[in-house]
């Protein structure tokens, strides 16, 4: 009984196991699964890579900038418009070359041709027109340099001393003319007063003092000094040793005295602001005899 049991194979997991078959199964488990088509014997499917977008498929970015092909611009530009722009550029360049001296002498001619070139440049989209624009800019820059040189030469030839002398001379002539008119007006006032009342002397202070204006009083004394210097009036002292003024022509014609035989004495009058106030208060001067131009305008209005 023990001999039978030792001659039999044990039953269980190990019965009927083939080592070669086990290796084949392990290999089949490690392979990746095939598609249904490959299981039926067909070729496996091949996956295609995604297509990259071209220039025409590119969408504009959020900033609004679009990718523009330069060749497409030249195709879209009207050839007749380009020919017209080139023709205008050539005409402008030719005009600048022929009228060079006129542009240099004129003050705003260069600015006008530059503005015309700027208007033409707004329609430039191809290299041929841009070359003509560059040619024009070279000519314009040369003209600008020459005009700058002319400006510097004009400044160097400017004589400041002669200009100031001429200006002062004109101012003196203008001031002298105004002074002469004012002197004639004051002499006319003095003569009119003595024609109306020849027996009443005119106080010098009453005649020249302006109670409302110290500067105006000084101007009146200045103008009356020309009347005295030219011999149209004179100043003398009355019985109270106060100065009076009278025209020479009326009194001398009545007295028969030659004007050239009289002895003339020159004097200098010193008048301060305090003296002016005291004279106005002492002589009780309320209104000026010699009215100013502004007061005459107010009276006439």
The total number of structural domains in the chain stands at 2
Percent over 70 (pLDDT), the chain: 60
- Are residues 176 and 289 located together in one domain of the fold? yes
pLDDT tops 80 at residue 160: no
What is this structure's pTM? 0.42
Structural domain contains residue 176: yes
Does 65 fall in a domain? no
Asked whether residue 147 falls in the same domain as residue 188, the answer is no
Asked if 243 and 137 sit in the same domain, the reply is no
Over range 277-291, report the average pLDDT. Answer: 92
Segment (H or E) for 192 = helix 160-196
66 in a domain, yes or no? no
Give the mean pLDDT of 224-234: 88
Do 171 and 264 share a structural domain? yes
Q: Are residues 172 and 285 in the same domain?
A: yes
Range of the domain at 286: 167-294
The greatest distance separating any two alpha carbons of the chain, rounded to the nearest whole angstrom, comes to 204
Is it the case that residue 115 has pLDDT exceeding 50?
Answer: yes
Distance CA 217, CA 213 (A): 6
Residues 152 and 254 in one domain: no
Cα–Cα distance, 270 to 229 (Å, whole number): 17
Burial class (CB in 10 A: 0-12, 13-18, 19+), 217: buried
Please, are residues 288 and 212 in contact by the beta-carbon 8 Å criterion?
Answer: yes
Given 156, 185, 204, which residue is the final one in a domain? 156
Whether residue 268 is found in the same domain as residue 202:
yes
Same domain, 242 and 261: yes
Q: pLDDT band for 58, please (50, 70, 90 cuts).
A: very low
Last residue of a domain, one of 127, 156, 185: 156
> CA of 153: how far to CAs of 41, 66, 107, 157, in Å?
100, 52, 16, 6
Residue 28: inside a domain, yes or no? no
64: region left, alpha or beta (phi > 0 left; psi from -120 to 50 alpha): left
Same domain, 180 and 234: yes
Who has greater pLDDT, 278 or 35? 278
Judged against a pLDDT cut of 60, whether residue 60 lies above it is answered with: no
Average pLDDT estimate for 62-91: 68
The CATH number for 213's domain is 1.10.10.580
Domain end call among 156, 187, 218: 156
Q: Which two tokens stand for residue 208?
A: 């020249």
Phi, psi torsion values for 44, nearest 5 degrees: -70, 150
């Amino acid at each position: 009984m023990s001999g039978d049991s030792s001659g039999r194979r044990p039953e269980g997991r190990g019965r009927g196991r083939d080592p070669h078959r086990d290796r084949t199964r392990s290999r089949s488990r490690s392979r990746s699964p095939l598609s249904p088509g490959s299981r039926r014997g067909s070729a496996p499917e091949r996956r295609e890579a995604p297509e990259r977008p071209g220039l025409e498929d590119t969408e504009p970015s959020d900033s609004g900038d679009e990718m523009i092909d330069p060749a497409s611009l030249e195709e879209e530009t009207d050839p007749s418009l380009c020919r017209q722009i080139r023709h205008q550029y050539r005409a402008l360049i030719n005009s600048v070359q022929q009228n060079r001296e006129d542009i240099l002498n004129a003050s705003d001619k260069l600015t006008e041709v530059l503005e015309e070139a700027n208007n033409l440049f707004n329609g430039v989209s191809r290299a041929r027109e841009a070359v003509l624009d560059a040619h024009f800019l070279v000519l314009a820059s040369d003209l600008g340099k020459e005009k700058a040189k002319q400006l510097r030469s004009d400044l160097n030839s400017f004589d400041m001393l002669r200009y100031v002398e001429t200006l002062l001379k004109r101012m003196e002539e203008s001031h002298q003319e105004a002074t002469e008119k004012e002197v004639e007006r004051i002499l006319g006032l003095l003569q009119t007063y003595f024609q109306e009342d020849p027996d009443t002397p005119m106080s010098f202070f009453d005649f020249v003092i302006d109670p409302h204006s110290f500067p105006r009083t000084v101007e009146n004394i200045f103008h009356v000094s020309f009347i005295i210097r030219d011999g149209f009036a004179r100043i003398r002292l009355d019985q109270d040793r106060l100065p009076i003024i009278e025209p020479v022509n009326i009194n001398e014609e009545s007295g028969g005295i030659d004007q050239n035989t009289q002895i003339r004495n020159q004097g200098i009058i010193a008048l301060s602001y305090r003296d002016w106030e005291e004279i106005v208060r002492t002589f009780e001067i309320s209104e000026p005899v010699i009215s100013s131009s502004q007061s005459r305008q107010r009276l006439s209005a």
